[in-house]
Chains A and B, each alone.
Chain A
Amino acid sequence: MPKEERYDFVIVGGGPNGVGTAAYLAKCGASVCVLEERPEAGGAVENTEPIPGVRITPHAMYMYAGPAPAFEQLELHKYGFRMDWSPQSKNLAEQQVRGVATTQGLAPITDKDAMGWAKISGMLTDPPFIKELLRSIFWCPPHPPEIEVTAENVPYMQVYKRHQPDVWTEELLDMTMFDLMDEYLETEPIKVMHAMVAWYSGAAGHWEGVAIPALGCDITLTIYGGISVPRGGMHDYFHSIIRCAIAHGTVVRTCCPVDEIIIQDGRAVGVRLRETATTDEKKIWANKAVISDVDVKQTFTKLVGPQHLSTSFRRKVEDISLKGGSIWVSHLLTREKLRCRPKFRNPVSGDDAGLGPYPCDSRAIYYEHVADVDGRRGKPTMPPERLMWLSTPGDRFDAADPQCTIPGRYLASPYYTYVPPPEYTVGGPDALDKVKEEINAYLRKAFSQTIENLNDDTLVHHWANTPYESEFRNSGLIGGTWCGTRHCDDQWGENRPIPELARYRTPIERLYLCNQTACHPGGLALMAIPYNLMHILIEDGLAEPGKWWYPSPWYIPQKGKISAVPLHAGGK
């Protein structure tokens, strides 16, 4: 019985980025092993059926990854990838008809709002340049350290300059998304709605210098992805990625927690498994590299260990902020289909599902919410009438892919609400968990602002995963966050999560990072980190993709490294 195994690459953590990286590397012909500590790979891209016939979505729900090169490069359709398209995806104009949910009911959206939004989203040119715009935001590795980042070489700036020069201004790099919208849109509620969609998608509408990344987070969902979900939920999308990896030879091991990344002479050479790991091998060696899909803090503090790190580096890692997105996720099983109050129903179709963010009256409410979540760090103090939250359509989009199959029962899952991160909560990380039922009741009161029939008579069950519970469930979701760490300018692009780690390399030779907390462009299961990391692994001579590979057009090779641009495409 072998006690040690050897692969080209050992990937610690089987979330979408770890497995996506495995798929790319295996397709290059490398031998790859992915080690996942939970019984099922997929990380936060997961499904679960806590009671028979009720499939809930603990975290990721929507498809953001539409523009990913991986759909072509990894040919995910061959591995069963399918979508459930939202009716809204066929009729974007309908969103405009319905308007935006405010405490006063649905606020209208004007033509100027719609045209302005379409313009900055790259939808007004023929053909539209939205795909190029999104790829430039997410699907390009940060520039090498010797390159000074300027308004000329930021990828999305290049795209605007080329396709929509009247939008281009150097100030795009400094704006908040609110600033941008103030210029192109006119109605306050729609601006607040988009700011909140962006905040819930990683880069908030009020953060300085991330106007375009925030816009990107929003439109990759709302326009490109049609506010739709993959068939079977996000986990089935993950299935297509993991099956691509496996089809190309990747070995995936579940219930195999890693205790240590083995460092010899400053170089990562393998991993040591926890003694409970469900395999008889205790050490797994990596000929080429170890890649960590574990969050950035645990990667260095637990798996590498302080003895291999400089004090200043260690401190920087410890100081990475966990704020900006700790979500309380609610799942409501009811005896009646939840109905909007009349003032929130779509005036044309009567449809009342999936209102999205609420309430979007003004940015005053938005800022109150920001202060409450990231400023005060305690139990929510917003009155339930003003609490901001985000609903998703209860019955999804495809009658042939139901989330709830129990006759006479209806599921609304997930409803998202931001709360303070457990690590910073006054009273300790479990302070909110101790009053879980109280907070659930408070949330239901908030939900009832738009829903007319959520009450004790209709409610069968209210599950919630608190941020602290999310950390237990997915140990990589530090802070119980949606996207790991915030997509703010100080943690974006060349700064994510700290400049020393921005190009996925680490102070440890042959140790690379692919976790959303550690890598540009962060979360949302975009398959962007695996694609971006490929450029770096090619630079370091560790990956040699075939003809199927194409690099990002905005990618700049690092001096003295192998270019990720193939020779046939003019690379050196």
Chain B
Amino acid sequence: MKQKRELVGQPHPQCFFSEFPAESDWDAVIIGAGPNGLITAAYLARAGLRVAIVERRYEVGGGLATEEILYPGFYSNMHAIYHLMVDFMPAIKDFDMERHGLVWIKPNLQTAMVFGDGGSLLLTRMIEDTMDSFHKYSDKDAVAFGKLMRNWRRIVSEILAPATYIPAMPPIDLTVAMQRTDIGREMLELVEQSPLDIINNHFENDRIRAFLLYISCMWGLDPRETGIGFYVPLLIDRGMNKCYLHGGSHKLAGALSREIVRAGGTILESSDVIKINRHNGSVTGVELMEGRTLNSDVVISSLDPHTTFFDLMDKNKLPTDLKDSVERWKYDKWSFNTVHVVSKEAPHYACEDQWVDESFMTIFGFESTKQLLAHWDNVVAGKIDKNSLGGHATCESFLDSHLVRKPGHISFFQMHAPYGIDGGWDKRGPEIMEAMLAKWAKAAPNMKRENIVMAKQETPKDIEIRFPNMRRGSIKHGDYTPIQMGCFRPNEACSNHSTPIKGLYLCGASTYPGGLVLGGPGYLAANRVAEDLGVKKWWKPTKEMERYIKTYLT
């Protein structure tokens, strides 16, 4: 590596103190300080590289945001709140997050679903508690769930979870590897089924089907699509193991940024990257909107494919295959519309099982799989039926007193929603918010007007305004479909986190293995860069990853 110049402060001609300079030299520049960008930067900084990470917003974290959107006095986790992979994410162990005072809470009562007649279902961390609840509707389904989950847990902990942090493999190689074990073969059988088929095959009661279908598909699987069936065990198992980060999701971003700074890295907020500089085909750094230049032979983008390849580079100088693949990229089929409220009382659901009020997540609005599928079909078609909508709610202050600076409770109700809604969000927003509040008050009768102190809606359009690279409100930077997953995410040339452009790497949710605060793309990109630069890795694979490698890859 070239010798880098020392960072020298730049005095303003009129003033008497120094600022960060107009031009500076780095070993690696990371674009975007969401979870993945931060993870890549933290690994590389501790590996001894001189790292700068540049963020457009005034605060790092991307979707790891805990902010006072119910202003003044009330904080919300307005984006990521359910942390699905805490049990497996290498960064949590490698950086010893406990040392940073990070405490994840994993409630036993994970998800509830309440129905119009006062019936309810529970998904709990403990299989038996879930079975108890299923027994109310179907003994057969309760027993089936117990047996299935024992296998699915193994599929997740031995295959799917560790594989998240191991580079993508072509489907053929993966199929051959999975033949080695029973659970591997079982997993392969699931791949070719749709989520709806898998659930219908194993369960008979329609409420239980609707419940598990919601949990399987809520993060963006098409219920009828084949080829990604392995996500069903993953999302149900992880749906039973969601964690809440005490103090708010932003604490993870804070801890990662401290790791970066502690290792000598630099974080620049309020800086929009407007160009990735290239010379003779190789990247040479980035240009910021404010006019500063960061020189580096390595640039790692956590942004979506359009922004990285088309907005920050000359689209016409890209290899044709790459250009075509970016043009073909499909953003998420649906986004979220969320109503955040401050209320005097916490939501109290009208149902026979009062345990529901303590649930981390509560689904309501759907009485059947038919109604649920109709809602999703509507959303994909750009519609919302105000009389038949549903979603999930969480009372955050129930989990975390730190979010509330004045007396009161904060909760949100979130539903799947189209980015391009009929009539547009500006026009439709208010009536949809009213419909959601009405629906909420129906499920939890105390959530009436007189109990609500403040309410605020965040539409898919709002998501895009806050986080412009969540284009069309795509929380995962791109749809989960078979041709955009695994070694095809974002395309075959880039899914191993390097790109056909020398020095340019990808570390965001649009790259394998995807979004949802898995921390996978960030970890894998750090590995790739370290290998390419010949930098010694200070970290080792987790024991789950080692077992997976031993069983399937050696």
Stretch of B83-91, B250-258, B435-443 contacting A (4+ beta carbons < 8 Å): B250-258
A79-B266, A239-B267 are known contacts. Are A473 and B69 too (CB-CB below 8 A)? no
Query: Is A7 interfacial (CB-CB < 8 Å)?
Result: no
Query: Is B149 interfacial (CB-CB < 8 Å)?
Result: no
Query: Is A400 interfacial (CB-CB < 8 Å)?
Result: yes
A66-B17, A77-B7, A226-B15 are known contacts. Are A278 and B251 too (CB-CB below 8 A)? yes
Tell me the complex Cα distance, A48–B262, Å.
26
Evaluate contact between A226 and B14: CB separation under 8 angstroms. yes
Query: Is B388 interfacial (CB-CB < 8 Å)?
Result: no
Interchain CB contact (< 8 A) of B9 among A78, A231, A255, A279: A78
Interface centre among A55, A278, A469 (most CB of B within 10 A): A278
Stretch of B119-127, B402-410, B411-419 contacting A (4+ beta carbons < 8 Å): B402-410
Smallest CB gap from A403: residue in B: B58
Evaluate contact between B267 and A47: CB separation under 8 angstroms. no
Q: Quote the shortest CB–CB distance from A477 to chain B (angstroms).
A: 12
Tell me the complex Cα distance, A401–B261, Å.
23
Q: Quote the shortest CB–CB distance from A414 to chain B (angstroms).
A: 12
Query: Is B227 interfacial (CB-CB < 8 Å)?
Result: no
A47-B58, A50-B68 are known contacts. Are A473 and B402 too (CB-CB below 8 A)? no
Evaluate contact between A85 and B59: CB separation under 8 angstroms. no
Smallest CB gap from B59: residue in A: A47
Chain B residue contacts of A276, Cβ below 8 A: 401-402
Evaluate contact between B251 and A75: CB separation under 8 angstroms. no
Evaluate contact between A400 and B75: CB separation under 8 angstroms. no
A50-B69, A90-B14 are known contacts. Are A280 and B103 too (CB-CB below 8 A)? yes
A400-B290, A472-B72 are known contacts. Are A81 and B20 too (CB-CB below 8 A)? yes
Evaluate contact between A49 and B19: CB separation under 8 angstroms. no
Interchain CB contact (< 8 A) of A55 among B58, B247, B248: B58
**Per-residue 0/1 for A197-241: is the Cβ within 8 Å of any B Cβ (1 yes, 0 no)?**
000000000000000000000000000111000011101100100
Interchain CB contact (< 8 A) of A80 among B14, B20, B465: B20
Interchain CB contact (< 8 A) of A82 among B98, B248, B264, B290: B290
**Per-residue 0/1 for B309-334: is the Cβ within 8 Å of any A Cβ (1 yes, 0 no)?**
00000000000000000000000000
Count: A-B pairs, CB below 8 Å: 175
Evaluate contact between B402 and A38: CB separation under 8 angstroms. yes
Stretch of A242-250, A385-393, A535-543 contacting B (4+ beta carbons < 8 Å): A242-250
Smallest CB gap from B57: residue in A: A49
Query: Is A424 interfacial (CB-CB < 8 Å)?
Result: no
Q: Quote the shortest CB–CB distance from B544 to chain A (angstroms).
A: 22
Q: How large is the interface on B (under 10, 10 to 19, 20 to 34, 35 or more residues)?
A: 35 or more
Tell me the complex Cα distance, A381–B341, Å.
34
Interface centre among B101, B103, B248, B406 (most CB of A within 10 A): B101
Tell me the complex Cα distance, A83–B18, Å.
9
Evaluate contact between B67 and A256: CB separation under 8 angstroms. no
Evaluate contact between B72 and A236: CB separation under 8 angstroms. no
Query: Is B116 interfacial (CB-CB < 8 Å)?
Result: no
Query: Is A463 interfacial (CB-CB < 8 Å)?
Result: yes
Tell me the complex Cα distance, A56–B72, Å.
11
Chain B residue contacts of A279, Cβ below 8 A: 101, 103
Q: Quote the shortest CB–CB distance from A248 to chain B (angstroms).
A: 9
Chain A residue contacts of B21, Cβ below 8 A: 77
Q: Quote the shortest CB–CB distance from B475 to chain A (angstroms).
A: 14
Evaluate contact between B7 and A278: CB separation under 8 angstroms. no
Chain B residue contacts of A463, Cβ below 8 A: 71-72
Interchain CB contact (< 8 A) of B98 among A1, A39, A76: A1
Evaluate contact between A247 and B264: CB separation under 8 angstroms. yes
Q: Quote the shortest CB–CB distance from B474 to chain A (angstroms).
A: 15
Interface centre among A82, A131, A280, A406 (most CB of B within 10 A): A82
Evaluate contact between B268 and A80: CB separation under 8 angstroms. yes
Contact residues, A1-52 vs B (CB, 8 A) = 1, 37-40, 47-52
Query: Is A287 interfacial (CB-CB < 8 Å)?
Result: no
Interchain CB contact (< 8 A) of B20 among A38, A82, A224, A469: A82
Query: Is A95 interfacial (CB-CB < 8 Å)?
Result: no
Q: How large is the interface on A (under 10, 10 to 19, 20 to 34, 35 or more residues)?
A: 35 or more
Tell me the complex Cα distance, A190–B66, Å.
44
Chain A residue contacts of B132, Cβ below 8 A: none
Interface centre among B10, B15, B103, B463 (most CB of A within 10 A): B15
**Per-residue 0/1 for A396-427: is the Cβ within 8 Å of any B Cβ (1 yes, 0 no)?**
00101100011000000000000000000000
Query: Is B462 interfacial (CB-CB < 8 Å)?
Result: yes
Tell me the complex Cα distance, A232–B19, Å.
13
**Per-residue 0/1 for B1-44: is the Cβ within 8 Å of any A Cβ (1 yes, 0 no)?**
00000010110101111111100000000000000000000000
Tell me the complex Cα distance, A231–B289, Å.
12
**Per-residue 0/1 for A260-291: is the Cβ within 8 Å of any B Cβ (1 yes, 0 no)?**
00000000000000001011110000000000
Chain B residue contacts of A164, Cβ below 8 A: none
Interchain CB contact (< 8 A) of B402 among A71, A252, A255: A255
Query: Is B458 interfacial (CB-CB < 8 Å)?
Result: yes
Evaluate contact between A40 and B261: CB separation under 8 angstroms. no
Interface centre among B250, B270, B288 (most CB of A within 10 A): B270
Query: Is A122 interfacial (CB-CB < 8 Å)?
Result: no
Tell me the complex Cα distance, A434–B61, Å.
36
Tell me the complex Cα distance, A418–B524, Å.
54
Interface centre among A1, A89, A246 (most CB of B within 10 A): A246
Contact residues, A445-485 vs B (CB, 8 A) = 463, 465, 469-470, 472-473
Query: Is B186 interfacial (CB-CB < 8 Å)?
Result: no
Smallest CB gap from A1: residue in B: B98
Tell me the complex Cα distance, A79–B57, Å.
17
Interchain CB contact (< 8 A) of A40 among B102, B250, B456: B250
Tell me the complex Cα distance, A236–B58, Å.
7
Interchain CB contact (< 8 A) of B17 among A47, A58, A71, A254: A71
Tell me the complex Cα distance, A405–B251, Å.
26
**Per-residue 0/1 for B269-284: is the Cβ within 8 Å of any A Cβ (1 yes, 0 no)?**
1111000000000000
Query: Is B118 interfacial (CB-CB < 8 Å)?
Result: no
Smallest CB gap from B254: residue in A: A254
Query: Is A253 interfacial (CB-CB < 8 Å)?
Result: yes
Tell me the complex Cα distance, A472–B72, Å.
9
Chain A residue contacts of B171, Cβ below 8 A: none
A253-B101, A255-B248 are known contacts. Are A231 and B290 too (CB-CB below 8 A)? yes
Tell me the complex Cα distance, A255–B21, Å.
34
Query: Is A359 interfacial (CB-CB < 8 Å)?
Result: no
Q: Quote the shortest CB–CB distance from B258 to chain A (angstroms).
A: 5
A80-B20, A463-B71 are known contacts. Are A278 and B270 too (CB-CB below 8 A)? no
Q: Quote the shortest CB–CB distance from B22 to chain A (angstroms).
A: 10
Query: Is A522 interfacial (CB-CB < 8 Å)?
Result: no
Evaluate contact between A83 and B67: CB separation under 8 angstroms. no
Tell me the complex Cα distance, A90–B15, Å.
9
Evaluate contact between A77 and B9: CB separation under 8 angstroms. yes
Tell me the complex Cα distance, A27–B418, Å.
51
Evaluate contact between A246 and B262: CB separation under 8 angstroms. yes
Evaluate contact between A400 and B291: CB separation under 8 angstroms. yes
Q: Quote the shortest CB–CB distance from B349 to chain A (angstroms).
A: 25
Query: Can you show 12 pairs from A to B with CB atoms below 8 A apart?
Result: A51-B456, A67-B16, A76-B18, A77-B7, A77-B21, A80-B268, A81-B18, A225-B15, A233-B58, A252-B254, A255-B402, A279-B101
- Excluding A37-B402, A255-B251, A401-B290, 12 further A-B contacts by CB distance (< 8 Å) are A39-B247, A50-B70, A72-B18, A77-B18, A80-B20, A81-B19, A225-B15, A231-B290, A233-B58, A253-B101, A281-B101, A400-B272
Residue numbers of B with Cβ under 8 A of A are: 7, 9-10, 12, 14-21, 57-59, 66-73, 75, 98, 101-103, 246-248, 250-251, 254, 258, 261-262, 264, 266-272, 288-291, 401-403, 405-406, 456, 458, 462-463, 465-466
The 5 A-B pairs of least Cβ separation, nearest first, read: A232-B270, A255-B247, A77-B9, A279-B101, A278-B247
